[in-house]
């Protein structure tokens, strides 16, 4: 994730399409964007085409998470750094919860699964701020947290709620998965 973020910064990554909209919305959270108003909804959902009316993803939590790095680092690299931080925090969380649940062997197995997922996605996806892919590693963390909670580890509940909220608000596709888990 870190290597992909450094590469994106060196190669002059520029947000286009949904990534550009997400970048603008993240800047708006702290009033730095052209609208100056903090967004109260998530991105427009392409499901709208099928339904015949406009709908949005449930919430703006991803914008809020990306707001500080986007404000602190000039240009489009701030949103790349923010996305990389979300994914790095997810990987570290997966490792920590798996270690807590089953020790070093379980933690290494969880990291092997995480590494396979990261490899299959490709490095550019790990730092591209897109509502569909940015929450893949957080969703894996959510699943590990749910497993730990199911084993009776109540200390995981606040993190489960926070990560589940991020995933659910960012992409409508998780509206069934997150509450179901």
Three-state SS letters, 35-101: CCCCCCCCCECCHHHHHCCCCECCCCHHHHHHHHHHHHCCCCHHHHHHHHHHHHHHHHHHHHHHHHH
* Among the listed residues 111, 160, 117, 131, the one whose alpha carbon sits nearest the alpha carbon of residue 23: 131
At 32 the pLDDT is: 58
CA distances to 38, 43, 46, 130, 146 from 125, in Å? 26, 18, 19, 8, 25
Q: Per this entry, what is the length of the chain?
A: 181
Its pTM stands at: 0.91
pLDDT of residue 33: 55
Please list the pLDDT of the chain residue by residue as tens digits (181 residues).
999 999 999 999 999 988 888 888 888 888 755 555 778 888 888 888 888 888 888 889 999 999 999 999 988 899 999 999 999 999 999 999 999 999 999 999 999 999 999 999 998 899 999 888 999 999 999 999 999 999 999 999 999 999 999 999 999 889 999 999 9
């Amino acid at each position: 994730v870190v290597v992909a973020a450094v590469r994106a910064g060196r190669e002059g990554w520029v947000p286009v399409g949904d990534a550009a909209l997400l970048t603008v919305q993240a800047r708006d959270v702290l009033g730095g964007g052209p609208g100056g108003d903090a967004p109260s909804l998530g991105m427009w959902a392409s499901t709208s085409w099928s339904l015949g009316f406009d709908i949005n993803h449930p919430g703006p939590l991803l914008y809020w998470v990306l707001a500080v790095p986007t404000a602190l680092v000039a240009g489009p690299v701030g949103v790349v750094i923010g996305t990389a931080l979300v994914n790095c925090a997810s990987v570290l969380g997966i490792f920590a919860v798996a270690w807590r649940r089953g020790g070093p062997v379980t933690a290494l197995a969880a990291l092997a699964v995480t590494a396979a997922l990261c490899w299959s996605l490709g490095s550019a996806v790990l730092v591209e701020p897109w509502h569909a892919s940015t929450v893949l590693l957080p969703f894996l963390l959510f699943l590990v947290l749910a497993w730990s909670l199911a084993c009776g580890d109540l200390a995981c509940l606040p993190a489960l709620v926070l990560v589940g909220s991020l995933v659910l608000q960012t992409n409508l596709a998780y509206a069934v998965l997150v509450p179901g888990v």
